Chain A
């Protein structure tokens, strides 16, 4: 059988010698990848139908981490429900909190103090940077590069310590509240935050030289697992996947929330210096560029942090949103999260439908995995960078 995939003819070796005898009999095989496989980044189970090393069909089976968070939110009061949202996308927890809170605030027409808006931006962007550092490092790990992972974890740990000091939690924060944030940051924290930004920015070349421009890594990722803009749009894939496919779309610029319009930053979009639009390498490069932009936002927000309150005075424990509804989307590290929030004026949300970006990003696997080698499928999974907590909610 002759299969042509990604420019590699399977019946020819590198020097023209046949890789497989042409009359060899192959058999289709169906097997599981995951849910305990480390390269599936969580408890994702993927059913694969393969012919030799070639994936003929792929069916992601999600739900292993399903906690029905939407039901939990309906059963608890506003204040009680908030920390559960952290546990959805546990690597971008602050961004998830912000997504829910923004929708409730829009429905209730709550004006958030400017200082609180800036603090949200600062901490969400730190969260985005540490999430992208993990994503990039783990992607290297999937490709067999162990060392860059440790280098990125070094700076990530410093970022986690900053978040820990500001919010009281390392990974799950419960920091963003309806009408503001829990606490203020100190001047000393602001100074160290700027220092950290400079440190990370100073290491970007190191990451790129170690991993991004590494010859082996380029061979594994350039032109591999292509996702074009049409497919990404039709599957609802967002975030670095959509931008890596060459679509200029970032909600922080397109539909600014929480004072993002105050800051000067760029939206990097493929094509980049190497790679092809829509390949695994572009998605990886996309994240590293986004780290640089996030650092710019953090520095501007820290420098220009306005004076004032950090919490709306009238919103305290036992607060209820008036009847109404809203749909607000925000940009998390993994893509567009949105909340369709319906209130009937009761003590808990009537309905809070949350869009986890990973849910629709994983749906892409079915379409994109077809025809890939199993090794390339690992690259695809790594470059999509999803968390299953976010997918299953």
Chain B
């Protein structure tokens, strides 16, 4: 058997209950972990896989569920990316925040909350970042309806 992808092996060994899916094929490898274990999983990547930066936090609406996709980066040695995915139900999309461990997550998660509408439990500043505070809805959801006006300003034309 070919060699395992080190982050997947490390996570499976340290958190056997948390790993839900491992994809080691193709151009985009990832490990899917349980939402409530994401903080621990990220710490394991930092401690044993040389990950030293949270590169990006993305939210994806798959219509039957939401996914939060974290891309971690190895910067100082062996440059590369490690992807963790978390699935959350559409009716109660809550994920623990990584903002206490990674400063990048602070704004990344705020943007994900603002545009996709996934809540991050324990976030120090859980407000919208791009849109006005009184905006309704989250534009990057697939069922988002474009507003026809904003404070009496017509936006249909």
A251 proximity list for chain B (CB < 8 A):
79
C-alpha gap A234/B53 in the complex (Å): 6
Contact with A along B50-61 (1 / 0, CB 8 A): 001111101111
Cβ of A216 within 8 Å of any chain B Cβ, yes or no, is no
- Taken together as a complex, chains A and B put the C-alpha atoms of A235 and B75 apart, in Å, by 13
Do A355 and B52 touch (CB < 8 A)?
no
Interface presence of B89 (CB below 8 A): no
Interface size class of A (residues with CB under 8 A): 35 or more
B126 within 8 A of A: no
Checking B55, B60, B76, B81 against A351 with a beta-carbon cut-off of 8 angstroms, the contacting residue is B60
A165 to B26, CA, bound (A): 39
Q: Is A249 an interface residue (CB 8 A)?
A: yes
Contact A247 to B75, CB < 8 A, known contacts A63-B130, A325-B28, A327-B83: yes
* In the bound complex, CA of A70 to CA of B60 (Å): 11
Chain B neighbourhood of A68, CB < 8 A: 115, 130, 139-140
- Taking CB atoms, residues of chain A closer than 8 Å to B81 are 327, 329
Q: Does A363 contact B (CB under 8 A)?
A: yes
Q: Of the candidates B28, B52, B60, B104, which one forms a contact with A326 in the assembled complex, judged by CB atoms under 8 Å apart? A: B28
Whose C-beta in chain A lies nearest to the C-beta of B59?
A353
Chain B interface, number of residues (Cβ within 8 angstroms):
35
CB of B13 to closest CB in A, whole Å: 24
Within the complex, the shortest CB–CB distance from B66 to chain A, in Å, comes to 11
**A234-B83 contact given A327-B28, A340-B69, CB 8 Å threshold:** no
Decide: A235 and B104 in contact? CB cutoff 8 A: yes
Name the A residues within 8 Å of B59 (CB-CB): 353
Instruction: Note all chain B residues with C-beta closer than 8 A to A355.
Output: 55-56
Closest B residue by C-beta to A231: B103
Q: Which of B52, B75, B81, B108 has the most CB of A within 10 A?
A: B75
**Interface mask (A235-268 → B, CB under 8 Å = 1, otherwise 0):** 1100000100001010100110000000000000
Cβ contact of B71, chosen from A254, A340, A367, cutoff 8 A: A340
* CB <8 Å contact, B69 and A236: no
A233 at the B interface (CB under 8 A):
yes
User: Which A residues touch B80, using CB under 8 A?
Assistant: 255
C-alpha spacing A282/B61, complex, angstroms = 42
Name the B residues within 8 Å of A255 (CB-CB): 79-80
Q: SS class of chain B's interface: helix, strand, loop or mixed?
A: mixed
Contact A236 B58, beta carbon cutoff 8 Å: no
* B114-157 vs A, Cβ < 8 Å mask (1 yes, 0 no): 01000000000000011100000001100010000000000000
A336 at the interface (CB under 8 A from B): yes
A66 at the interface (CB under 8 A from B): yes
From A74, A235, A327, name the one whose CB has the most chain B CB atoms within 10 angstroms: A327
Among B38-94, those with CB < 8 Å from A are 52-56, 58-61, 69, 71, 73, 75-76, 79-81, 83
Q: Is the CB of B58 within 8 A of A324?
A: no
Q: Does B102 make an interface contact (CB < 8 A)?
A: yes
If A247-B76, A392-B130 touch, whether A360 touches B107 (CB-CB below 8 Å) is yes
- Whether the pair B115, A233 counts as a contact (CB closer than 8 A) is no
* With known contacts A70-B140, A327-B81, A340-B71, A233–B53 Cβ distance under 8 A: yes
Return A109 CB to nearest CB of chain B, in Å: 8
Chain B residue with the shortest CB-CB distance to A107: B27
Complex interface: chain A residues within 8 A of B97 (CB): none
Closest 8 A-B residue pairs measured CB to CB? A236-B104, A254-B79, A353-B58, A63-B130, A66-B130, A234-B103, A235-B103, A355-B56
Interface of A with B (CB < 8 Å)? 62-63, 66, 68, 70-71, 74, 106-107, 109, 231, 233-236, 242, 247, 249, 251, 254-255, 324-327, 329, 336, 338, 340, 342, 350-351, 353, 355, 359-360, 363, 367, 392
Between-chain CB contacts (< 8 Å), 19 pairs: A62-B130, A63-B129, A63-B131, A68-B130, A74-B140, A106-B27, A234-B102, A236-B53, A236-B55, A247-B76, A327-B71, A329-B55, A329-B73, A340-B69, A342-B60, A350-B60, A351-B58, A355-B55, A355-B56
Which B residues have a C-beta under 8 Å from some C-beta of A? Answer: 26-28, 52-56, 58-61, 69, 71, 73, 75-76, 79-81, 83, 102-104, 106-108, 111, 115, 129-131, 139-140, 144
Sample of 16 more A-B contacts, CB < 8 Å, known A236-B108, A340-B58: A63-B131, A68-B130, A68-B139, A68-B140, A74-B140, A236-B102, A247-B75, A327-B81, A329-B81, A340-B56, A340-B71, A351-B58, A351-B140, A359-B107, A360-B104, A363-B107
